Amino acid sequence: MEPLVLLFALPLLYLLVKIWKHFDAKRDQQCYILDYQCFKPTDDRMLGTELCGDLMRRTKNLGLEEFKFLLKAVVNSGIGEQTYGPRVVFSGKERRPSLLDSISEVEEFFQDSLQKLFDKSGVSPSQIDILVVNISMFSTSPSLASRIINRYKMREDIKVFNLAGMGCSASLISLDIVRQMFKSYKNSHAIVVTSESLTPNWYSGNDRSMILSNCLFRSGGAAILLTNKRGLRNKAMFKLKCLVRTHHGAQDESYGCCFQKEDDQGNLGFHLGKTLPRAATRAFTDNLREISTKILPITEIFRLALLTILHKISLAGSSKLRRPKPAANFWAGAEHFCLHTGGKAVIDGVGKSLGLTEYDLEPARMTLHRFGNTSASSLWYVLGYMEAKKRLKKGDRVLMISFGAGFKCNSCVWEVVAESGGGRCNVWEDCINGYPPLSLANPFIQRFGWIQNQDPATFTSL
């Protein structure tokens, strides 16, 4: 009898051990944020109204129509007077910046944010196993990642990724790389460094599709410390629940709507095409369709499916005015919405698509007003606003949505592990009490509104 029992018990025990190992390995593949730091340049780099006027005066090939276009773009951009620009625009070198100027811009960010991250987290550079750096429009040799490794004397076996050309959605791409690496490397620390280099990409021509980027993009950056160490989960701030990437680069219209290029006079800049809204809408729709099945409860998915069927039936039997399609209730899948600050129109469009309130859109609007569009790092300023306002409660879910050239839409959901407001300081600490301000009106219209009444025949310059 006993040999017979053993004959059945041993395979069952083996199966149970295999199942336990499978689920135990899954626990080591979690992705946690231990800390993150956003970069705030010094006050001498603020792009106020007067300095913007000086920049316009220095751009000699701008005519009256270009000035009117710039005035309208700046006033409607949602950007305030306290955003930051690269040092070359203050020294008058924006037309011909040197390589050293470009390197200095990113190294200033590296040294500030990474040092704060190491100091406040207690994690040393030698403990970092994975490093992902994304700066879209500037690349050097040795790479920017190598500069960080050299400065902090990181280990020789560190796994390094240096991304370029990935646009404003690059930080979630970097997170996806870390997430995939964590599946193979247990008990690891990773750092994502995300920013943009404006120094070599400040546009000095008169192409309207390219001067628009000067009105939106501003200096900034973020460094994020992540881990999959099970023993550190109680010290984590956020836990990654899911991440979805959508890429429409195969479609010519989407591919060409955001493009770094030279204009007819050879001025390098970033083209924002008229097809951008359509491309963004398509990518956003496809991305939402996929992530909704991962984050919405089954009851909400069933409700939406039922309403969609009824909607199609009603359309088939009626020739009257089309009714709007049923929309998912994304509050069932997330309590907070962290949106890319691509511009006022982007925030408005995403808010309308998701049915969000002004309360939900406030973090993105205030980030755009205070820091501008800091490219791939903008999401972390928005998250910092939520944290500074003490909105994030343990167990809450944060839906991040970003857009980028290519054309790409990436999104993810974080679960709050530790509540905000525990004495932690972030980039908003010195001004959060002033937000939201009573008015977001841009003073540019008061200073330069007279341009709208000028006669092209008599207009000379500012």
Q: Could you give the residue numbers annotated as active site?
A: 168, 247, 336, 340, 369, 373
The C-alpha R_g of the chain, in whole angstroms, comes to 25
Cα 325 to Cα 305: distance, rounded to the nearest angstrom = 11
Tell me how far apart the alpha carbons of residues 73 and 268 are, in angstroms, rounded to a whole number. 20
Exposure string of 297-306, with b = 16+ CB inside 10 Å and e = fewer, is eeebeebbee
Decide the pairing of beta strands 189-195 and 159-163.
unpaired
| Residue 186: exposure state from Cβ atoms within 10 A (0-12, 13-18, ≥19) | middle
Alpha carbon distance 14, 19 (integer Å): 9
Q: Tally the C-alpha atoms within 13 A of residue 238's C-alpha that lie toward its C-beta.
A: 25
- Structure-token pair, residue 85: 């620009």
Angle among Cα 229, 398, 374 to the nearest 5 degrees reads 95
- 42: tokens are 């010094």
* Alpha-carbon distances of 33 from 119, 155, 228, 400, rounded to whole Å: 16, 21, 9, 14
Q: How far does CA 162 lie from the centroid of its chain? A: 17
State the Cα–Cα distance between residues 183 and 176, nearest whole angstrom.
Answer: 11
**What is the rounded CA–CA span in Å between residue 95 and residue 316?**
59
